[in-house]
Structure 1
Amino acid sequence: TGGDLTAGSLGRLAVTRQARGLGVGAALVRAIEEEAARLGLTAVDLHAQTHALGFYERLGYVAYGPEFPDAGIPHRAMRREIGAA
C-alpha cells in the first residue's frame, strides 16, 4: 500500500457473529497471505479497527503509525512480512 509494489493490501474482512471464534477469520487471512506469497509479494498491509488489533497481532501483524478514523471508527495500520513462494 502507499505505492509499495511488494506489499498486498487486505481490504475488508468480516466474519458473522455466529462464526467468530471458529478460526474462519484466521483461515481467510492465511489464504490471502498464501496467495500474496504465490504472487511474489513480501508483505501484507491492512487497516485494523483498534478493537481487532489483538486478532491480527496473534497472526503476526505489527501495528505502526498513529491511530486514525475510518468511517468514524478508530483504526491502526498493520503489516506482516511474508515469504514469497
Structure 2
Amino acid sequence: MIEKTTDLATCRAIRREVFIVEQSVPEAEEWDGRDSTAIHLLARDKGGRPIGTARILIEGATGKIGRVAVLKPARGTGAGAALIRAALDELRTIRGISRAKLGAQTHAIGFYEKLGFTAFGPEYDDAGIPHRDMTQDLG
C-alpha cells in the first residue's frame, strides 16, 4: 500500500537505513533541506509496516522523483515499482506538470526503463554513486 504522508520521521528513517547506512551517502548530502517542500510517499507491507519511501519535488513543469528507498527485506516485492507508479499518478493530478524526472543509480536504469523512463545525458557522480538522469512525459 502506498500513501501520501506527512510522517517525515518514518520516511527519513527508511532513507537513513538505505542511503546513509547501506550506501554510505554522507548525512549532509542526504538531508538537503528540501524535505519540507516535498510531497512524500510511504509504502507499507500487508501488515502495515513501513518498507519504502519516495519524495517528489516540483520544478516548473517537471516533477522530480527522488529519494526512492526500499528496505532490504522488502526488495523484490514490487514495492519500488509501486512507489514509482504512485509518484507518477500523484504528478498527473498536479496542474501544469507535464514531465517526470529522476536521477537513477546506474544499476537501476533497467528498473526505471520498465516503468516508462528514458535515460539521457552523461553518467555523473552523486554522493559517490554513478547516476544518469531519466525522464518520462506525463501526457
- Please give the TM-score of this superposition, normalised by the length of structure 1: 0.88
Letter in 2 for 1:56: Y
What does residue 39 of structure 1 align with? 94
Q: Number of matched residues? A: 80
Q: Alpha-carbon deviation of 1:81?
A: 1.0
Which AA in structure 1 matches 2:77?
L
Instruction: Determine which of 34, 57, 61 is the counterpart of 2:117.
Output: 61
2: CA distance, partners of 1:27 / 1:33: 10
Q: Does 1:81 align with 2:129?
A: no
1:8 partnered with 2:63: yes
Report the Cα distance in structure 2 between the residues aligned to 1:66 and 1:60, rounded to whole angstroms: 19
Calculate the TM-score normalised by the size of structure 2: 0.55
Instruction: Please identify runs of 4+ aligned residues in structure 1 that moved more than 6 A.
Output: none
Higher RCO (Cα < 8 Å, 6 or more apart):
1
Alpha-carbon offset, residue 42 of structure 1: 1.3
Gaps of 5+ in 2: 1-58
Task: Report how far residue 23 of structure 1 moved.
Answer: 0.8
Task: Flag the structure with larger Rg.
Answer: 2
| Equivalent residue, structure 1, for 2:127 | 71
Q: CA deviation at 1:9?
A: 0.3
Q: CA deviation at 1:71?
A: 0.5
